[in-house]
Structure 1
Amino acid sequence: MITLMEMNEIEFKKYVDFMIPEYAREVVKNFDLTMEQALEESKMMIDGLFTDGLCTSGQYLFTIRDANSNEKIGILWYQLNTETKRAFLNHIYIDEPNRGKGYGYKTLEKFQHNLKEADIKSIGLSVFESNDDAYRIYKKLGYSTTRKDMEIIL
């Protein structure tokens, strides 16, 4: 149903240009920050995680494609620590027209299978409280809650 293709430099540039404001919008929705503050925080985060761009060690970015049509349907980004045998799912994004078709679930299944084959022992992730659809998929695939962050706005 899906294939994971390593991202190229052109796709990476487009992704970064998309990710900074996308993440900032989520930060604004979930925290008490202005869009200007959230954009600055988002840019600092991306710059810090991709110190060597697409070639940054430990960062893996893939374009999710439909196996039959080869149409791009989304993005998968994760970090890998081979010493601890742990992965962290930074971002899975299914393009709007392709949501609700099982692509997210199938991508996560493939992601988990690939990491298990590589002898990775666990996958961590964070999900915004407001992202009910993602939370349901993660629970269905067996992810458990290991931490809850809380905040009060004064």
Structure 2
Amino acid sequence: MIKLSKVNEVEFEEYLDFMIPDHANEITKNFNLTLEQALEESEMMINDMFKDGLATEGQCLYNIIKANSNEKVGLLWYSIIPEINSAYLYHILIDEHERGKGYGTKTIEMLQDNLRERGVNSIGLSVFGKNDGAYRLYKKMGYSNTRISMEKTL
């Protein structure tokens, strides 16, 4: 159904152009920050995560491709943390018109199988509180809450 292909430099730059403002919008929906503050925080986080750009050790960024047509349907970003034999799932992005067709589920299954074969013991992730679709997907896939952050705007 799907396959993964490494993101190239052009695709990486396009992803950053999308990811920084998109992440900032999620921050403003979920936390008491202005869009300007959220953009600054998002840019700092992304730049820190990709210190050496696409060549940053430990960061894995892949296109999600329909196997039968080679059409791109999304993107997967994760890292492996060898010190604790774990992985961290940063982002699964399925194109809006491709959502609800099983690509998110298949991507997680493929990632889990790949990591299991490599001897990785667990995958961590975070979900913004207002991202109900992602939360439902992760719960369906067997992920459980390990901590809950809460905030009240005064």
- What TM-score bracket applies, with the shorter chain setting the length? over 0.9
> Post-superposition, which runs of at least 4 consecutive aligned residues in structure 1 deviate over 3 A?
none
C-alpha distance in 2 between matches for 1:39 and 1:84 = 31
Cα deviation code 1:9-63 (max 9, x no counterpart): 1110100110000100100110111111111110000011110000001100000
Other-structure match for 1:33: 33
Task: Report the secondary structure of 2:13's partner residue.
Answer: helix
Other-structure match for 2:61: 61
Other-structure match for 2:91: 91
* Structure 2 unaligned residues grouped into runs of 5+: none
1:133 deviation in Å? Answer: 1.1
Letter in 2 for 1:38: A
Other-structure match for 1:15: 15
1:84 deviation in Å? Answer: 1.4
C-alpha distance in 1 between matches for 2:82 and 2:118 = 9
Letter in 2 for 1:125: L
Other-structure match for 2:47: 47
Q: How does 1:115-134 map to 2 (within 5 A)?
A: 115-134=115-134
Other-structure match for 2:152: 152
Task: Report the secondary structure of 2:62's partner residue.
Answer: strand
* Structure 1 unaligned residues grouped into runs of 5+: none
C-alpha distance in 2 between matches for 1:103 and 1:36 = 33
C-alpha distance in 2 between matches for 1:131 and 1:113 = 25
RMSD: 0.7
Other-structure match for 1:77: 77
The TM-score with structure 1 as length reference comes to 0.98
Task: Report the secondary structure of 2:128's partner residue.
Answer: coil
The TM-score with structure 2 as length reference comes to 0.98
1:83 deviation in Å? Answer: 2.6
Question: How many equivalent pairs are there?
Answer: 154
C-alpha distance in 2 between matches for 1:15 and 1:146 = 29
C-alpha distance in 2 between matches for 1:8 and 1:118 = 24
C-alpha distance in 2 between matches for 1:147 and 1:6 = 32
Letter in 2 for 1:79: S
Letter in 1 for 2:33: L
C-alpha distance in 2 between matches for 1:64 and 1:96 = 13
Counting aligned pairs with the same residue, the percent is 60
